[in-house]
Amino acid sequence: MLLRRAARLTITLATLATSCSTRHGLPRPSNPAAPRETLLEAARLAGQAGDYATCRRGYEALLAADLHDDEARAGLARLDAWEGAYARAEAAYRDVLLRHPTDDDVRAGLFDVLVWTERWDDADAVLAEAPPTHRPILLGRRARLAYLQGNVTEAQRLLAQAERIAPNDAEIAVEKARLVAQWARVTSRMITSSNGAPILGQTDLSLSQAVHRLRISFESEQGSRATSFASGWAYGATYGLAGAWTFAPGWTWEVKAALGAPAMMVPVLRLDTQLAMAIRPRWSSSIGYSFRRFADGIDTHGGRASLGFTFRDELRLDATYWLTQVRMRTATDDASSRQVQAFGLSAGRTLFPWMAVRAGYAHGAEAERSPAVFQLLDLVNDSFYVGIRFTPSMFVSIEPVYTLVLRGRPGQPRQVQHSVELGLAVRR
C-alpha cells in the first residue's frame, strides 16, 4: 500500500506540471492576457506545493472569466482527482476529451482516475481509443496497466520504447521506478520468553524474479525453534520455492513448497496455496490451504480466509480466520486428532509517502507457524504486534516489528514472549 501511494503522489506531481501548465496541448487564445497566464502559473505552483485551496481558487477564477477555458478545466479535474472527487474529475476529463480527442495529457489524466478507482477495463478502453501515436506519456500509462495486470515483461518493453523517444522525461522515470521485477528480503528475529525459556534467533530470506505474469521465489527459514512450552530448543532450516501467477489486477494464485531438516518441531514438508481476489474496488480477499508434516509424527491441515478494505489508499483494515486440523499420524484414538482455530484483526495507515505503520491482534491456537504439538497441549495465544515501514527510496524499505505473545492453557499462568525483528527489502 505504501509503495502504491508513494508512486501515486510522485506521479500526480509530475503529471500536474504537464496537464496544468502552459505546455498543455489544449488550444489557447492567440493573444492570451497576462492575468490569465499568471493565474495558470499560480494555480499550477499552488497545486505542486500542496495548497489545494489556492489552486482551486485560481482555476475557478479562470473558468468564471471564460467557461470555454479547457486548460483550466483540465487542471481543475486533476485537482478533483487528487482530493478524491473521482466522479467529478472523470466527468470533467471526459467533457474536455470530447472536444480534444488528440490531447494525450487529458487522456492520461482520465486514465489515472480510472486506475485509482480500480476500473481496469475502462482504463484499458481509454488507452485503446487514443489516436495511433507513440507519445511517451501514453506509452508510460500502457506500461503501468500492463504491470498492474501482472505482465512485467510487457511493461518493461513499453517503458524501454518510451525512454528511447524521451530519455529525460520525468513521468517515464517515475513509471520505471515503480516497476519492480526483482525482490530480495532478509529478516532477522530475536525471541525471548519467560519461564526460563531460551532466547531464540531466526533469519528468513526471500529472493524473487518476475517474468511476464509469473513471479518465482526462493525462500528459506533458519534458526532456533522452541521444542516445549517452558524450555528446550532445536535448530531448524527449511528451503522452498514459490510461484505466483497474476491473471488480472488484484487476482493472484500462489503455490509454495518447502522441505525442512528432519529435526524436532521442524516441518519436513510444507505445502501452501493461496488465491488473492480483488472482489470490488477497495475490497480484497483471499483463501488459502496449508499442509505441514513434522518429523515427530504430526500432520497439520489448515484453511484460512481473509477480507481487507482500503480507505483512500491511506488506511487498510484486514480480518483473517484460521481453522487447522492437528493429527498424530501413528495414533488411532480420537484424542490424537483435533481442530483448532484462530482469528486476527489488523490495521495499517500511511502517515507519509516514506512511512507507514501497522498493528494487529490475534487470538487462538498458532497452527501456521508454531510447533504443532502446542495445539495438542491445548495452548491458546493472544498476540499483539506493531510495525513500521520506512521507505527512504523506491527501491529500499526497512521494517522493524515488535510482537508480544501471551501463551498458555486456559485458566493457568501464561508465558510472556517478546519478539523483535528487523526486515530489509530491496527492489529493482
- DSSP conformation letters of 249-275: TTEEEEEEEEEE-S-TT-EEEEEEEEE
Task: Please enumerate in sequence order all residues whose Cβ is within 8 A of that of 335, keeping only pairs 6 or more positions apart, or say none.
Answer: none
* Residues 210, 242 contacting (CB under 8 angstroms): no
Which residue carries 506521479 as its cell? Answer: 11
Distance, CA of 127 to CA of 130 (rounded, Å): 5
DSSP state of 336: G
| pLDDT at 377 (0 to 100) | 52
Distance, CA of 41 to CA of 20 (rounded, Å): 8
* Residues 293, 264 contacting (CB under 8 angstroms): no
Task: Please enumerate in sequence order all residues whose Cβ is within 8 A of that of 192, keeping only pairs 6 or more positions apart, or say none.
Answer: 199, 200, 417, 418, 419
> What one-letter code names the amino acid at 311?
F
Sign of CA pseudo-dihedral 109, 110, 115, 121:
negative
Among 50, 54, 34, 33, which residue's Cα sits nearest to residue 42? 54
Distance, CA of 110 to CA of 98 (rounded, Å): 12
Which residue carries 525471548 as its cell? Answer: 192
- Residue/partner pairs of 218-224 with CB below 8 Å, 24 or more apart: 218/242, 219/256, 219/258, 223/189, 224/198, 224/200
| pLDDT at 229 (0 to 100) | 57
Distance, CA of 41 to CA of 17 (rounded, Å): 10
* Residues 284, 308 contacting (CB under 8 angstroms): yes
Collapsing DSSP to helix, strand or coil, 114 comes out as helix
- What are φ and ψ of residue 79, in 5° steps? -65, -40
Domains assigned to the chain: 2-131 (1.25.40.10), 182-427 (2.40.160.40)
Distance, CA of 292 to CA of 324 (rounded, Å): 10
Collapsing DSSP to helix, strand or coil, 316 comes out as strand
| pLDDT at 199 (0 to 100) | 87
- The dihedral formed by the CA atoms of 327, 331, 334 and 336, expressed in degrees to the nearest 10: -40
* Residues 395, 379 contacting (CB under 8 angstroms): no
Distance, CA of 409 to CA of 33 (rounded, Å): 79
Task: Please enumerate in sequence order all residues whose Cβ is within 8 A of that of 50, keeping only pairs 6 or more positions apart, or say none.
Answer: none
* Residues 58, 43 contacting (CB under 8 angstroms): yes
Among 236, 226, 221, which residue's Cα sits nearest to residue 192? 226
* Residues 377, 409 contacting (CB under 8 angstroms): yes
CA distances 271 to 81, 297, 337, 428, Å, are 43, 17, 20, 28
How does pLDDT run along the chain (428 residues), one tens digit per residue?
433 444 444 444 444 444 443 334 444 443 444 478 888 888 888 888 888 898 998 888 889 888 888 889 999 999 999 888 999 999 999 999 999 999 999 999 999 999 988 898 999 999 999 887 778 889 999 999 999 888 999 999 999 999 899 888 888 888 888 888 999 999 999 999 877 778 889 999 999 999 999 999 999 999 887 766 556 677 888 999 999 999 888 899 999 999 987 666 678 899 999 999 998 888 999 999 999 888 777 888 999 999 999 987 789 999 999 998 888 766 555 557 778 888 999 999 999 889 999 999 999 876 555 544 444 456 678 899 999 999 998 889 999 999 998 887 777 788 888 999 999 999 98
